[in-house]
Structure 1
Amino acid sequence: MTIPGTPLPIRNSMESFVAYWRTLRGDEKGESQVFLDRLFQAFGHAGYKEAGAELEFRVAKQGGGKKFADLLWRPRVLIEMKKRGEKLANHYQQAFDYWVKLVPDRPQYVLLCNFDEIWVYDFNLQLDEPMDKLRLDELPDRYTILNFLFPQEQEPLFGNNRVDVTREAADSVAKVLNSVIKRGEERPRAQRFLLQCVMAMFAEDFELIPRGFFTTLADEARQGKGSSYDLFGGLFRQMNDPTPARGGRFQGIPYFNGGLFSIVDPIDLNKEELHFLHLAALENNWAKIQPQIFGVLFQSSMGSKERHALGAHYTSEADIMRVVLPTIVTPFQNRIEAAKTQAELHAIMNELSKFRVLDPACGSGNFLYVAYRELKRLEAQAILKLRSIAAPGTRIPSPQVSVKQIYGLEFDSFGVELAKVTLTLAKELAIRELKELLGDTGLDFDHPLPLDNLDDNIIEGDALFTSWPRVDAIIGNPPFQSKNKLQREMGAAYVKKLRAAYPEMPGRADYCVYWIRKAHQHLAEGQRAGLVGTNTIRQNDSRVGGLDYVVQNGGTITNAVSSQVWSGDAAVHVSIVNWVKGQQDGPKHLSWQVGDQRESPWQSADLPVINAALSAGTDVTGAKSLKANAQSGACYQGQTHGHKGFLLEGLEAGQMLKDAKARPFVHPYLTADEMIGNYGSHPERWVIDLNDADDVFSAMNAGKAFERLKQKVEPEMKAKADEEREKGGSDKGPRQSHYQKWWKHWRGRGELIGKISSLPRYVACGQVTKRPIFEFVSSEIRPNAALIAFPLGDDYSFGILQSSMHWEWLKARGSTLTERFRYTSDTVFDSFPWPQAPTPEQVRAVASAAVELRALRNRVMKAQGWSLRDLYRTLDTPGKNPLRDAQEKLDAAVRAAYSMKANEDVLTFLLALNGQLADAEAKGKAIVGPGLPAGLNPADYTTTDAVRPLGAGSA
């Protein structure tokens, strides 16, 4: 067999490399580079340089300075070399830190090598454990682990994918749990019993009870040789009994304690349930399963409706480390690396032994598990360094970091029990790892049994209405719940209570923002926090309530992810923010993902300051609303009909329009998806609009239009009003009030309709959009709420709105939905400064370029049969593009109208102009607002093209 892409026999090449490797001493500084070069040659390259790899690649260090990655070959692999005999487990944090910062084209795989062993990581899949380990002398037989090193990349064949193993085990246990609940057992009882079974499976594979003991009991029950009620009940009672059994089946079972077995109420499982439980015990080595199983089990056992309501989400370990690393690990790690004396190291170890961590929305305890594990590893690093500088015979202190330093709050009672079990496993795993790292050198290690009682550490309760314990760091992933859904999901009474408890919080802030604010208030000077939130935490009211509060009250954002695709089940983009209460010198690291796929590329920047908008560009969060814009009546959201009964398909509309009474109230109705996604941008439906009818008498004048609404809309409006009343709403509740005029849209936008009715056309864009696409729409068409409508009919105004200047302002000032941008009138339009003194020639140039752009779009779409979406997608393809050229011509004309220099930063310029105009308005001076400048004849700058409706009557 030959190396892919070369004539070289694979085995011969690998054996030659192994023969060369045996000649090396394993000196990190003297031999790493030649080792790496020969490794690349073994896989069919002329050498690392010819393959395109780089040695000693500079990576920024948090807090300032640089580190050097031994080899980087984008986008395949990062390799970090250590001297022979070095324990590789001590260095994965360093490799992960490098990996996080290596954007764009972050390598998929990371190798740690100490000349004798290679550990292979895929941090996107699992962080703590390598995907596989390879001894160098095994290379001729196991080179497939490193398949990605060949010139023609191949899929590596790993033997330690613990994620897959964990999911299989979780699936088996979840099947039992869901089956037991489905057949009528109470959920809390079933959950507690299955958690006891899971702990027993871990215990037998950790050999805390005899190996195979639980598996044997499950097999006996499965074969009918005993009931699970008796067999498991007896085991669990003995695990909770401090008095050892003097004989019988459970002799030798140790005392566990810890709270989990304090209530033993076994369940008699049926044959199918016993089959899956036995399968889970028999086919899985639970000592090798990731504790994230509990997160999976947690979600598997909750109904989908409940999971959404509580905002429960699974977090990948790589995302957890984006919080734990900068908030807990790096500050201590920097101090350990800088320590020169035994006294400094003793002080660090003492501080570590008292360092307390809180997750105020801990779920199944995944963040807490990682935090505890990393504290233990930091302690091991300090001990190893102390041992290296201490004189022979010096007494080295034993590890003291305890799981009792870890605290959590969780709303769900099952989550509380899961978190306790997760931390119990963290303790046992940490003990084993420390023994491996530190060796048997007389240190006194902790003992796994009896289990620590964590009832005072992990507390059930709503974190926003529960006192938080005093701690040194706060981490976690608070519930995701948008402001728009909060009342619907949590109930009006809860929202009222929340507003009363946090009156200073903006009413439109997302739910997770409350955790940011409370966390900062809870921190003492010098303490740190790291939280995951929806990416709206950097925008508008959510930013004001959270991150603005942090930076305005002594906080410094040290490390953040502006936006990334969420690793869990929720279809959202998230932000991750880490901060310290106080000052921190040196550069701050900001990264962000570009795209809406989990595999989308990353970018990053090291900045002197990370602003509350988590933006690498100019911070425009301080821009002010301009009265000339806000009072112009030039920007509105479209209509929200509120019920599908208001909408008509083409044939229905054709019939309705035959009724003379109904005809004036039936209008073409355009959505953003239709405007951008349909050929010709035509609307597909029609809408009944009786919003001018203030009483039922005038509404009834609409003939068949009213009759349709009476049949289709009124019954449901009544049902919703009744439901609101039954839930305790006041007589003036929104749905009850709306029912008094049920024939009207939920939001009819009467002022907007009045404005556009006086014009032949208006400008529109999608309220949520991925690309800058504006279009003229005929005023006979009603805009849906998914459109932002600008009652401006001239080509100059269109040109300003379609310009890249306006688009950059929209991206910086609007909110986001996944990777798309949301146009918000109060933050985007009201603050956007329009050109103040353009000459008639400059206005003409903008208008002409706008007309040319639209003409080009229409020609191409007609020739190709494309929609606007199809056309604008061509901009994603490199190369000359007439659409790009037309947009650049328009941008140049708009820059000239602003008197903006060609290389001047758009946001910096617009922010400065916004400030000047706000100051002028504050002094009572008039400024130029939206629209065609005064003194110009609109007819000279207005053409007639626009989206127009198709005729009614077509299907």
Structure 2
Amino acid sequence: MTPHEFIAKWANSPIKERAGAQAHFLDLCRLLGEPEPADVDHTGLDYGFEVGATKTTGGNGFADVFKRGFFAWEYKGTRANLDDAFAQLQRYAVALDNPPLLIVSDIGTTIRIYTNWTNSVSKRYEIAILDLEDPVKRGWLKSALSAPEALRPAKTRQELTEEVASEFAVLAHSLRRRGHKPEEVAHFINRLVFCMFAEDVKLLPDGMFTRMLGHALDNPAEFETFARELFGAMTKGGRVGFERVKWFNGGLFDGDLVFPLTRDEIKIVHKAAGAYWGDVDPSILGTLFERGLDPDKRSQLGAHYTDREKIMMIIDPVIVEPLAAEWDEAKAEIAALMGKAAAIKGGAGTRAENQAQAALDRYLLRLANYRVLDPACGSGNFLYLALKALKDLEHRAQVEAEALGLPRRFPQIGPEVVHGIELNHYAAELARVSVWIGEIQWMLRNGFSATEDPVLKPLDNIECRDALTSWEPAGDVYQGHWVEAEWPAADAIIGNPPFLGGKLLRSQMGDAAVERLFTIYAGRVPAEADLVVYWLEKGLQALVVGKSHRVGFVTTNSVRAGANRRVMDKIADGPGIVAAWSDEPWTVEGAAVRVSLVVYGKPVGGQALQLDGHAATQINADLTSSAVDLTRAKRLAENGGVAWQGPVKIGSFEVDGQTARRWLKMPLNPNGRANADVLRPWMNGSDIVRRPRDLWIVDFHERTEGDAAPYEGPFEHVRLTVKPTRDTNRRDRRRSHWWLHGETVPSLKSLLDKVPRYIATPRVSRYRVFVWLPSSVLPDSRLVAITRDDDTSFGLLHSRHHELWSLRLGGWHGVGNDPQYTPSFGFETFPFPQGLTPAVLASDYSTDPRAVAVAEAAKRLNELRENWLNPADLVRREPEVVPGYPDRLIPSNEAAAEVLRTRTLTNLYNQRPAWLDHAHKALDAAVAAAYGWPADLTDDEVLTRLFALNQARAKA
């Protein structure tokens, strides 16, 4: 069929929808050279006419034409209202698996194609029947039938959101430069944003806000008057000129806050108004606040932009999956009852239908009464997606029940089902507006009108207060005490609590707030735990007392280790973890971090456990699924007092090698002593895994100020560079003893004095590497020092067995997600081979063939590594300027220096050459023999055996 023939046959055709729809579509197939439904799918389930079960509202299907994964198509008679047809199709899209295109047309004049991708902006293609001779417009139709991706808008909702956010960031900075308060700027811009949204979704009269901006561009001085008049009308409902404005309410437009804008500022708003705000993600509100208004508030709000796929990783297992399982059961009951009603006439059939209706009503009431709490809601991203998920569940139930023959009702679920707690007043407002926009968007996208009178319901269920502590007054206003904050009862608790490491609590929150936390949560949350752990604990208690049924939080990925895991242990032992992602990329304050997502509560409806997206039989407290739960490993007395974290400086005590050598060569000090007493080579993790930087450190050890002062050069350096920062330190000892390291670790130094060398490993490193350091080298706090000088201990620590153990019991750090090593969990829990434990003197190893074999393999590994790191032809050894220190390794020339810069342990283990691999395998075999085990055990078998040894020795 040619375009001319099609137009001649169908243009302005008087044929009714029912009579002409299928013939019209078949002619389009012939026109476009596309196969007809019967040629492709003889069942008609994936491509056919009248797809969907009988609707009680009339008609024979959810769509007149349907092609799964392509489109759903609704026909109407010539010149019918296509907006109504589109709304009808939207309401049934969920029953058709939400096809990417929704198409409506009348028989004789118009075809409209609406895009329906979840995360793309909306686009409408309109084709007049009389224009079908245009090859471009025919191409749109052909793509709809065969290649819908060609019609997908290039811009995602996130990209649109980022785009308009950047526009408003410019406006926000401009207003702040004029001296306006950041919070008031945020409030004002939220009003502008909502006006643009309301205009585009037809809640404000056609183009009213844009027209207002246009008039203000002619005379900027009038903007303030125009905006105040509009906001006032939106507050209570009223008129702007002759045009009626709906009653919006909700608190957003209370008060008369309006800022005068310059012509350039009005241009920014006018340009932004040109975007289609109906597609803008509600998370723009938090984005605007953070990026454009007050960056210092970002960590307080936690209102950063996070894409919906990440948030749904929490919402799905916490809310959607359990409620969907309940609907599956209810739907099966309804189907059985409706089948009975159809088979039995009379009173019995009516009773069966009534019972089916009652089953549907029970489920819908369950959804209406369901409550979700985000106790750290920020700008409301989790809340609005939770609301959307609940409305989707209600909508699907209504549509699927209608397919079974029950009547459909208007959606009942609204913003009242979500509750939030947020400390910052303006962030709480952001959350309310996000939820309002999300609610309106959902209604319109699913073919329903937005609620009115008022448009915005008050959302007192999003509270502005502290989620952890609360002041309980007693007597007059000056009396009372701090208590644990109460959370409202909620079926589900979700959210992204603030990320603040345990060591940063005091500096970020202040001593008083931290002491309140420690007192109120004593015995429940360790004092050194990250802040997010307090939310985990409160979620656990809500489950225990029956105030909630399922909890899901985004947490720091360090929650799997250290003090944080004590609460995770209680969760795993109690209600249990039902879903988790152990290590996911996330964004906090614009920076990439790694997080763990944890969902806990008893499984319901046969819900399977999931770990990192895969089915699991169990999930341990460290977010692993192995049969052996290594979180139960105990510290062993035989390992105590051997592994130490290096001293904590708290100040710039370190100096470069040139300065140190100048001090070393100085004459004796007034006390008759050399500076060598208080100067030591110094190394941290970077010096281990890269190249040593030739840094030294001033260490007065435990000397008094009077005994330290005579060491003139080092003391003056510390007085000038360290004392100013220590004068403001929160800890009394660090202020008063400013010349000493913050943590001096005298026990470690005493042990180092007794050995010529010791074993060191970085606390955080991509690879778990161990090295020998001379005892004169002081380790930084980022190193763990093991005070053994025998090759056997070195080999046992560098074995695969210890590496597997320490990786599982350590934490993870930074965006690189590098493993951490600690004396307590990495070393003190490790079960060394019997007879080769740290409690055994190294001298006793000489007669043990197992120890000798391990030592020889360890020495060979270390020798090969050192030869690669510092080849004899590229370095020369030079004695230090005074005795008592290790020789310096100096590049033999510039070319050698260039090569040596690449010779690092990190690069070596990145490459892992064959000789290194063989050396490690030989060491592993010797260590396996020392245990009396085969060398080819799997990782899980090694860990299982080590765990059994740990448990047996812990009980001994």
How does the TM-score come out when normalised to structure 1? 0.76
Deviations 1:787-809 (A, max 9, x none): 11111111111111111211111
Decide which of 239, 248, 253 is 1:256's aligned counterpart.
Answer: 248
Decide which of 500, 516, 519 is 2:539's aligned counterpart.
Answer: 519
Partner of 1:53: none
Structure 2: runs of 5+ lacking an equivalent? 1-28, 48-66, 75-88, 105-111, 128-134, 335-355, 470-484, 669-673, 837-846, 872-895
Partner of 1:888: 921
Partner of 1:539: 561
Partner of 1:49: none
Q: 1:172 to 1:810 in 2, by over 3 A?
A: same
Q: 1:737 to 1:502 in 2, by over 3 A?
A: same
SS in 2 for 1:209: coil
Structure 1 CA distance for aligned equivalents of residues 777 and 137 of structure 2: 70
Deviations 1:693-732 (A, max 9, x none): 1x222212423222332333334433x15xx4xxxxxxxx
- CA shift, 1:274, in A, is 1.6
Partner of 2:132: none
- CA shift, 1:685, in A, is 1.0
Q: 1:671 to 1:406 in 2, by over 3 A?
A: same
2:808 counterpart of 1:783: no
SS in 1 for 2:759: strand
Deviations 1:914-953 (A, max 9, x none): 5545544544xxxxxxxxxxxxxxxxxxxxxxxxxxxxxx
1:263 is matched by which residue type in structure 2?
Answer: G
Q: 1:831 to 1:192 in 2, by over 3 A?
A: same
Q: 1:917 to 1:201 in 2, by over 3 A?
A: closer
Partner of 1:687: 697
Decide which of 544, 549, 559 is 2:570's aligned counterpart.
Answer: 549
- On the 8 A contact 1:132/1:145 being kept in 2, the answer is no
2:424 is matched by which residue type in structure 1?
Answer: D
Structure 2 CA distance for aligned equivalents of residues 307 and 676 of structure 1: 34
2:449 counterpart of 1:430: no
Decide which of 490, 502, 522 is 1:483's aligned counterpart.
Answer: 502
- CA shift, 1:347, in A, is 2.1
SS in 1 for 2:552: strand
Partner of 2:18: none
Partner of 1:861: 869
Partner of 1:384: 399
For 1:154-303, what aligned pairs fall within 5 Å after superposition?
A: 158-224=153-219, 226-242=221-237, 244-245=238-239, 249=241, 251-281=243-273, 283-303=274-294
Structure 1: runs of 5+ lacking an equivalent? 1-14, 34-78, 97-110, 437-444, 592-603, 725-733, 924-955
- CA shift, 1:272, in A, is 2.6
For 1:343-358, what aligned pairs fall within 5 Å after superposition?
A: 343-358=358-373
- On the 8 A contact 1:675/1:683 being kept in 2, the answer is no
Structure 2 CA distance for aligned equivalents of residues 403 and 638 of structure 1: 53
Q: 1:88 to 1:210 in 2, by over 3 A?
A: closer
Decide which of 360, 363, 367 is 2:378's aligned counterpart.
Answer: 363
SS in 1 for 2:601: strand
Decide which of 830, 833, 836 is 1:835's aligned counterpart.
Answer: 833
Partner of 1:643: 651
Structure 1 CA distance for aligned equivalents of residues 92 and 905 of structure 2: 52
- CA shift, 1:535, in A, is 0.7
- On the 8 A contact 1:163/1:290 being kept in 2, the answer is yes
Structure 2 CA distance for aligned equivalents of residues 17 and 788 of structure 1: 76
- CA shift, 1:588, in A, is 1.0
For 1:351-750, what aligned pairs fall within 5 Å after superposition?
A: 351-390=366-405, 394-435=406-447, 447-465=451-469, 466-503=485-522, 504-523=524-543, 524=546, 527-545=549-567, 547-553=568-574, 555-568=575-588, 569-581=590-602, 585=606, 587-591=608-612, 604-617=613-626, 618-630=628-640, 633-644=641-652, 646-659=653-666, 660=668, 661-678=674-691, 682-693=692-703, 695-718=704-727, 720-721=728-729, 724=730, 734=731, 736-750=732-746
1:265 is matched by which residue type in structure 2?
Answer: L
Partner of 1:103: none
- On the 8 A contact 1:26/1:114 being kept in 2, the answer is no
Partner of 1:38: none
- CA shift, 1:505, in A, is 1.1
1:186 is matched by which residue type in structure 2?
Answer: K
Partner of 1:763: 759
1:616 is matched by which residue type in structure 2?
Answer: S
Decide which of 296, 306, 315 is 2:297's aligned counterpart.
Answer: 306
- CA shift, 1:311, in A, is 4.7
2:586 is matched by which residue type in structure 1?
Answer: W
Structure 1 CA distance for aligned equivalents of residues 496 and 696 of structure 2: 44
Structure 2 CA distance for aligned equivalents of residues 856 and 139 of structure 1: 71
Q: 1:385 to 1:92 in 2, by over 3 A?
A: closer
- On the 8 A contact 2:572/2:621 being kept in 1, the answer is yes
- CA shift, 1:157, in A, is 8.2
- On the 8 A contact 2:103/2:113 being kept in 1, the answer is yes
Structure 2 CA distance for aligned equivalents of residues 285 and 919 of structure 1: 67
- On the 8 A contact 1:509/1:541 being kept in 2, the answer is yes
Structure 2 CA distance for aligned equivalents of residues 578 and 619 of structure 1: 18
Structure 1 CA distance for aligned equivalents of residues 248 and 832 of structure 2: 71
Q: 1:89 to 1:83 in 2, by over 3 A?
A: same
Q: What percent identity do the matched residue pairs reach? A: 28
| Number of residue pairs aligned between Structure 1 and Structure 2 | 792
Structure 2 CA distance for aligned equivalents of residues 163 and 351 of structure 1: 33
For 1:852-931, what aligned pairs fall within 5 Å after superposition?
A: 852-862=860-870, 865=899, 870=904, 872-873=906-907, 876=910, 881-906=914-939, 909-910=942-943, 912-916=945-949, 919-920=952-953, 922-923=955-956
- CA shift, 1:145, in A, is 10
Q: Which has the larger radius of gyration?
A: 2
- On the 8 A contact 1:120/1:132 being kept in 2, the answer is yes
Deviations 1:23-63 (A, max 9, x none): 55664978979xxxxxxxxxxxxxxxxxxxxxxxxxxxxxx
Q: 1:861 to 1:157 in 2, by over 3 A?
A: farther
Q: 1:804 to 1:171 in 2, by over 3 A?
A: same
- On the 8 A contact 1:353/1:401 being kept in 2, the answer is yes
- CA shift, 1:552, in A, is 2.6
SS in 1 for 2:592: coil
- On the 8 A contact 2:796/2:802 being kept in 1, the answer is yes
Partner of 1:945: none
- On the 8 A contact 2:831/2:949 being kept in 1, the answer is no
SS in 1 for 2:716: helix
SS in 2 for 1:435: coil
Structure 1 CA distance for aligned equivalents of residues 322 and 774 of structure 2: 60
Moved more, 296-305 or 23-32: 23-32
Q: 1:530 to 1:698 in 2, by over 3 A?
A: same
How does the TM-score come out when normalised to structure 2? 0.76
- On the 8 A contact 2:801/2:942 being kept in 1, the answer is no
SS in 2 for 1:805: helix
2:722 is matched by which residue type in structure 1?
Answer: V
- On the 8 A contact 1:669/1:784 being kept in 2, the answer is yes
Root-mean-square deviation (Å) = 3.7
Deviations 1:460-499 (A, max 9, x none): 0111124222221111111111101111001111001111
Deviations 1:205-228 (A, max 9, x none): 111112221112122222216522
Q: 1:509 to 1:135 in 2, by over 3 A?
A: farther
Q: 1:422 to 1:252 in 2, by over 3 A?
A: same
Q: 1:196 to 1:120 in 2, by over 3 A?
A: closer
Structure 2 CA distance for aligned equivalents of residues 127 and 478 of structure 1: 27
Structure 2 CA distance for aligned equivalents of residues 480 and 17 of structure 1: 60
- On the 8 A contact 1:234/1:250 being kept in 2, the answer is no
- CA shift, 1:903, in A, is 4.3
Structure 1 CA distance for aligned equivalents of residues 813 and 797 of structure 2: 21
Decide which of 785, 801, 804 is 2:800's aligned counterpart.
Answer: 804
